[in-house]
């Protein structure tokens, strides 16, 4: 068995089973990829692909299993190469970070700035996606680090580091009656139209569960993946916003906020990477910087764990 063959297999899958496209991305001719695939099937003695005539359309059950292990093979090989690169030049390379909008917009900027200052030659890439995608990309070794609140902890293929906990704030325009209330209860929120995150994002799951558990039904008129959109529609008076507290911004002078962390469970944001992945010096440093930033943020937005 050869590593090239496994690379061809994985590239083929990532190219939607187009042999020509896979070949192009690997800088070889189609026939080479074709030979790799054939040899692999011959050696394993099993069909790996569902074929429609000559076209490849998908993986067989065995193909799925092989592909999964091939991914982990190539991930280990990548780690070995990363060790080498780290040794030759520990200040040069690329850092592929995956995160949600909330992280990219409100949490990461100081960290990115710091890492760029320390490692100016490292190319930092921010890949935005849904938590589900972030898990997928990290699992497929398309990302080095994934940062978000949901889904990361569930994957057994990822190692995750809990970073900070956060909770929610209510936002409205200044003249809203809720702002004047002495203490805000859960059913107060149900009396107004709400604008908050879509399912699968930024703690929306436990947000909904909190209401359900209390026998309440919130009236969510609009949900969005990112906080800026929520703010926009709060300004349009479509409803009151429930957002993650770290997304409060001192620049938003027209918006009033109230902490509602007594109503909802705390959420934990984590950094995750592929099990067993070798972390290059600057990757480890990024994680440390992220944790430092959290520890230094003493304004009640990001909360240290314990």
Taking the complex as a whole, the smallest distance from the CB of residue 11 to its own copies amounts, in Å, to: 16
Short-list 258, 248, 231, CA closest to 301: 248
- By beta-carbon proximity to DNA, the closer residue of 30 and 206 is 30
Return the structure tokens found at 192: 């107004």
Q: Do 167 and 245 meet the contact criterion of CB atoms below 8 Å apart?
A: yes
Q: What is the 3-state secondary structure (H, E, C) of 77-132?
A: HHHHHHHHHHHHCCCCEEEEEEECHHHHHHHHHHHHHHHHHHCCCEEEEEEECCHH
User: Binds 18, which of its own copies, DNA, none (CB < 5 to 8 A, cut-off by type)?
Assistant: DNA
User: Binds 19, which of its own copies, DNA, none (CB < 5 to 8 A, cut-off by type)?
Assistant: DNA
**If binding is defined by CB under 7 A, does position 212 make contact with DNA?**
no
**If binding is defined by CB under 7 A, does position 80 make contact with DNA?**
no
Return the structure tokens found at 136: 């997928």
For residue 247, which phi and psi values (nearest 5 degrees)?
Answer: -95, 5
Counting Cα atoms < 13 Å in the Cβ hemisphere of 4 gives: 11
Judged by CB under 8 A, the number of residues near its own copies is 27
Cα separation, 14 vs 12, in Å, equals 5
**If binding is defined by CB under 7 A, does position 56 make contact with DNA?**
yes
User: Binds 37, which of DNA, its own copies, none (CB < 5 to 8 A, cut-off by type)?
Assistant: DNA
Taking CB under 7 A as the criterion, the residue among 47, 55, 125, 187 binding DNA is 55
- By beta-carbon proximity to DNA, the closer residue of 10 and 135 is 10
- By beta-carbon proximity to its own copies, the closer residue of 91 and 275 is 275
**If binding is defined by CB under 7 A, does position 30 make contact with DNA?**
yes
Cα separation, 259 vs 213, in Å, equals 21
Taking CB under 7 A as the criterion, the residue among 14, 43, 44, 51 binding DNA is 51
User: Binds 56, which of DNA, its own copies, none (CB < 5 to 8 A, cut-off by type)?
Assistant: DNA
**If binding is defined by CB under 8 A, does position 91 make contact with its own copies?**
no
- By beta-carbon proximity to DNA, the closer residue of 36 and 101 is 36
Cα separation, 38 vs 23, in Å, equals 14
- By beta-carbon proximity to DNA, the closer residue of 46 and 256 is 46
Between the alpha carbon of residue 170 and those of residues 175, 191, 258, 294, the distances in Å are 14, 14, 5, 22
- Contacts of its own copies in 24-83 (CB under 8 A): 43-46, 62, 65-66, 69-70, 72-73, 76-77, 79-81, 83
Taking CB under 7 A as the criterion, the residue among 14, 44, 48, 52 binding DNA is 52
Between the alpha carbon of residue 262 and those of residues 149, 184, 198, 201, 255, the distances in Å are 19, 9, 22, 21, 21
Q: At what angle do helices 281-296 and 108-118 cross, to 10 degrees?
A: 140
For residue 265, which phi and psi values (nearest 5 degrees)?
Answer: -70, 155
Residues near DNA, by CB under 7 A: 2, 4, 17-20, 27-32, 34-39, 51-56
Contact footprint for its own copies (CB under 8 A): 1-3, 6, 43-46, 62, 65-66, 69-70, 72-73, 76-77, 79-81, 83-84, 87-88, 275-276, 278
């Amino acid at each position: 068995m050869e590593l090239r063959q496994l690379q061809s297999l994985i590239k083929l899958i990532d190219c939607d089973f187009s042999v020509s496209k896979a070949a192009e991305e690997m800088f070889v001719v189609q026939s080479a990829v074709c030979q790799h695939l054939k040899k692999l099937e011959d050696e394993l003695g099993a069909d790996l692909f569902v074929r429609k005539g000559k076209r490849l359309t998908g993986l067989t059950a065995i193909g799925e299993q092989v592909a999964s292990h091939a991914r982990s093979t190539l991930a280990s090989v990548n780690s070995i190469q990363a060790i080498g690169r780290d040794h030759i030049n520990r200040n040069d390379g690329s850092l592929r970070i995956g995160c949600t909008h909330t992280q990219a917009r409100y949490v990461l900027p100081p960290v990115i700035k710091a890492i760029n200052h320390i490692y100016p030659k490292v190319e930092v890439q921010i890949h935005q996606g849904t938590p589900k995608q972030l898990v997928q990309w990290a699992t497929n070794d398309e990302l080095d680090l994934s940062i978000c609140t949901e889904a990361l902890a569930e994957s057994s293929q990822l190692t995750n580091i809990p970073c900070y906990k956060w909770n929610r704030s209510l936002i409205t325009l200044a003249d809203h009656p809720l702002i004047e209330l002495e203490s805000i209860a859960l059913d107060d929120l149900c009396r107004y139209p709400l604008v908050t995150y879509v399912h699968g994002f930024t703690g929306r799951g436990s947000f909904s569960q909190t209401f359900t558990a209390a026998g309440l039904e919130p009236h969510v008129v609009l949900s969005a993946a990112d906080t800026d959109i929520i703010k926009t529609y709060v300004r349009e008076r479509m409803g009151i916003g429930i957002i993650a507290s770290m997304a409060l911004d001192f620049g938003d002078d027209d918006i009033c906020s109230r902490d509602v962390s007594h109503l909802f469970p705390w959420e934990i944001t984590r950094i995750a990477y592929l099990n067993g992945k070798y972390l290059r010096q600057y990757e480890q440093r990024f994680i440390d910087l992220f944790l430092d930033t959290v520890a230094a943020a003493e304004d009640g937005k990001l909360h240290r764990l314990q």
